[in-house]
Amino acid sequence: MDALEILSNIEKVIPYFQPIFSADEHKIIGYEVFGRMNMGNDGVESLGPFFGDDEIPDEYKMEVDERVTRLALEKFLAEKQEGYIFLNRNAGLLMLDHGESFLELLLEYEKKGLDLSRTVIELSEKTFVGDFDQLVHLLLYYKTYGIKIAIDNIGGNSGQLDRLSQYSPDILKVDLYQLRNDAGNKVYKDILYSLSMLARKIGASLLFENIEINYQLQFAWLNGGRYYQGFYLKHPSDTFLEPDLLKEKLKEKCQDYIRYEKKHLEAGYEFADVLHKEISQKLMTLKKQTVEFDDLLFEVARHFTDKCFRVYICDENGFQVTSNVVKSDQVWTIEPRYKGKNWSWRPYFLENIIRMRIDKKGLLSDIYSDIDSGESIRTYSYPFGNGLYLFMDLSYEFLFEEDGLLF
């Protein structure tokens, strides 16, 4: 269906609504509005390709968009919906008149009872080529009316993370589509984890979209998702739904995820406790026999050769006081060039040192990618004594074989 056919049959353009579910109440908290074309007996057709086609004139898109928005708001008010309504806007189209016509439309419906604080502008700006500062100014102006701002296409290919905080967004929408096709993509997972940290720092809520399988929902829950959306939960439709429609299902899913994560955390703590005792016993013997740190580390490495591939000792300021003792092809060697290097710049390094100093116990790190090998590893840190701390890098092979240590 081409653009002229859509315009000449604009009375067939209708809004569809996809529910958005909350993590805290397990209920529908709002709907995202989509444009559809009613094809009669042939069902409905998405207008996504129409809005995404750069060859179609802007005025065509704006006319169709206004119809979809008006019908959606009228239905939203007529049925006395109390949640949020998410309205998609292209940044380029929005800035054609500096956002005035859209604001006037919202103010018109505010007089009819629309609560602007329940209105969310869902903005995709990845292809925006205009004045970015003016766009930011407009969105901040919208927020003075109580309008919420959601930034879409995060986790896709926008690559604009450095710009996000300038919007002061209320919601970051994270696309999980790629995670469905490649659940083992660690780089992608790390990017999404970074987004969850960013959201926390700038005070934004995370909305994970395109959830199509249980694994994606679990990932969204584990990574701080406050809101969920996707076919796994509900497809878009022309009607609003009972808010508690999936309450029991989501509650059960949440309990499953909690049990799974608790098992994972307990496995880590239990392993760390066992390793702490084993290292303590080994060091008690070695300290009586060995004076040189490198020699002592070499013996520690040989004792734990089935678990680790690298050991070294740092002081409490992060300066390495020993060589690296490294395993390669099942052979342990000493690499003196690492002595004197400082690792305090690493995330959580100093925080973990303080925790070990106070608790007098070792710590097991989260999973991360080793700089040298690129493999997923974990590091066990141990308070060696006299302001020194032993670090033992656990190999991927060992973690893989241990239940609950590799996720």
What pLDDT, on a 0 to 100 scale, did the predictor assign at position 157? 43
What pLDDT, on a 0 to 100 scale, did the predictor assign at position 42? 86
What pLDDT, on a 0 to 100 scale, did the predictor assign at position 156? 47
**Mean pLDDT, range 202-207, rounded to an integer:** 91
Q: Which of 64-68, 175-179, 185-189 has the highest mean pLDDT?
A: 64-68
In angstroms, what is the C-alpha Rg of the chain? Answer: 27
Residue 220 has pLDDT above 90, yes or no: yes
Q: What is the pLDDT of residues 79-123, one digit of tens each?
A: 999 999 999 998 889 999 999 999 999 999 999 999 999 999 998
- For 8-13, which contacts have Cβ atoms below 8 Å and span 24 or more sequence positions? 9/37, 10/63, 10/64, 10/67, 12/37, 12/38, 12/39, 13/37, 13/38, 13/47, 13/64, 13/67, 13/68, 13/71
386: phi > 0 → left, psi -120 to 50 → alpha, else beta; which? left
What pLDDT, on a 0 to 100 scale, did the predictor assign at position 132? 84
Q: What is the pLDDT of residues 27-79, one digit of tens each?
A: 999 999 999 999 888 889 999 999 988 899 999 999 999 999 999 999 999 99
**For residues 288 and 32, which has the higher predicted lDDT (pLDDT)?**
32
182: phi > 0 → left, psi -120 to 50 → alpha, else beta; which? beta
Based on the number of CB atoms within 10 Å of its own CB, is 391 exposed (0-12), middle (13-18) or buried (19 or more)?
buried
Based on the number of CB atoms within 10 Å of its own CB, is 177 exposed (0-12), middle (13-18) or buried (19 or more)?
middle
In the block, tokens 């005070």 appear at 203
Q: Where are the alpha helices (DSSP H) in 58-155?
A: 58-78, 91-94, 100-110, 132-143
404: phi > 0 → left, psi -120 to 50 → alpha, else beta; which? left
**For residues 324 and 191, which has the higher predicted lDDT (pLDDT)?**
324
Q: What is the pLDDT of residues 238-279, one digit of tens each?
A: 999 999 999 999 999 999 999 999 988 899 999 999 999 999
What pLDDT, on a 0 to 100 scale, did the predictor assign at position 40? 86
In the block, tokens 């659940």 appear at 183
Instruction: Give the model's confidence band at 407: pLDDT under 50 very low, under 70 low, under 90 confident, else very high.
Output: low
* Average per-residue pLDDT for the chain: 90
Predicted TM-score (pTM) of the model is 0.85
**Mean pLDDT, range 282-291, rounded to an integer:** 79
Which amino acid is present at 294? Answer: D
**Mean pLDDT, range 1-7, rounded to an integer:** 86
Which amino acid is present at 260? Answer: Y
Which CATH class name applies to 3-232?
Answer: alpha beta
How large is the angle between the packed helices 214-222 and 247-289, nearest 10 degrees?
Answer: 60
Q: Which of 122-131, 132-141, 249-258 has the lowest mean pLDDT?
A: 122-131
Decide: 171 and 87 in contact? Cβ < 8 Å.
no
Residue 160 has pLDDT above 60, yes or no: no
Residue 158 has pLDDT above 50, yes or no: no
Other Cβ atoms less than 10 A from the Cβ of 61: the count is 21
3-232 and 260-401 share one CATH topology? no
Decide: 405 and 366 in contact? Cβ < 8 Å.
no
Decide: 394 and 372 in contact? Cβ < 8 Å.
no
- Domain definitions of the chain by residue range: 3-232, 260-401
Which CATH class name applies to 260-401?
Answer: alpha beta
Going along 291-330, which residue ranges are E strands?
Answer: 308-315, 324-328
